[in-house]
Amino acid sequence: MTELHHARPLDREQAATKTVQTQRHGDARPSDTTAPEEPRLAEVGDLADLTGQAEATARAGLAEASEVAAVPLVAGGRRRRHRTLGVPLPTRRPAAYLAAALVGATGFGLLVAGDPTARADATDVAERSSVSVAEELGLDVESQPAIPEADAAARLGELAASRSARQAEQAAAAHAQAEADRLAAEAIAEAARPEAVLPVEGARLTSGFGSRWGTVHAGIDLAAPMRAPERAAMDGVVLEAGPASGYGLVVYLQHENGDVTVYGHMDEILVTPGQVVRAGDTIALLGNRGQSTGPHLHFEVRLGGLGGEKVDPVPYLRERGVQI
């Protein structure tokens, strides 16, 4: 057996202090007559505390590894070389400690996941943390008491009244808008309405204004089929309506400028004295009553009133946009 020589004498106490017990592959382990008690998992209430313990254990392993020194050995042979015992490198033991810490944390997580009581405790801790955060923010975490039924009914009544008021306002606004639309439509229609129209639409002029058969024909004759609608030439009010000598049935309309238009020989009158009519409204049905040779309308224009000067209706209507 080769004798090992040290390069220099070693102090026995120092050697004893720094000698590291190693175990080679195949060496028998020392027998232990006393079976160690099975370790039990202690209940841990704070995961942060467990993490701190793991970190402290890892740091202690680093400190212990840094204090381990290599023991010089002399190998047999001509050349004396120093070699160290098979001591693990210091950098491997911190990894072992960290791995142990991670295993411990993982085991605690599995323990909590598998134990209903541990899960309940963890949930309780989370709830207490949430409550403390709410208290820090100044929030009221206590349950609010229910309001009396009378107060609830009063509030519901206020909501119903407010809703009714809004609905009434909306209905009033809709009505006002509809009325405004109606007035606008009437204004548009009024602006588009003609100032004057031909008394019988599609009629044929058969006799003009002037001397005829030795007398003065004070109007014009407009021939059309029997009971054709006769229309007010312009806006006005009915002065008279009924039978008249020579006209059979006659209607007198007075207009805004004071002039009067006369309609004779109709078969039926459809208006009454005092009635307001507009240009184009039907006032009678064309006929052949009175001194007439066939169905036609005798139409006259009298300036300034019922007894005013009789003028030719053709230029009078043309001045107001009606072509005959």
- CA geometry: angle 29, 33, 34, nearest 5 deg: 115
Residue with tokens 């946009």: 321
All residues at 6 or more sequence positions from 166 whose CB lies less than 8 Å from its CB, including other chains: none
The domain spans of the chain are 1-11+43-114, 146-192, 204-318
Q: List the alpha helices (DSSP H) in 115-148.
A: 116-136
Beta-bridge partner residues of 138: none
pLDDT of residue 148: 87
- Total-model pTM: 0.48
Residue 110: per-residue pLDDT: 45
Instruction: DSSP for 247-282, please give it.
Output: TEEEEEEEETTS-EEEEES-SEE---TT-EE-TT-E
Write the CATH number of the domain with boundaries 204-318: 2.70.70.10
Residue 147 pLDDT:
78
| pLDDT number for residue 311 | 97
Give the chain's length: 324
Give the pLDDT confidence score for residue 126 in this predicted structure.
Answer: 53
Per-residue model confidence (pLDDT) at position 233: 97
SS (H, E, C) 224-245: CCCCCEEECCCCEEEEEEEEEC
Residue 112's pLDDT is what?
45
pLDDT digit string (tens) for the chain, length 324 residues: 444 444 444 444 444 444 445 444 444 454 444 555 555 555 555 556 666 776 677 677 666 655 544 444 444 444 444 444 444 444 445 555 555 555 455 554 544 445 555 555 555 555 555 555 556 666 555 666 787 888 888 888 999 999 999 999 999 999 999 999 999 999 998 888 899 999 999 999 999 998 887 888 999 999 999 999 999 999 999 999 999 999 999 999 999 999 999 999 999 999 999 999 999 999 999 999 998 989 999 999 999 999 999 999 999 999 999 988
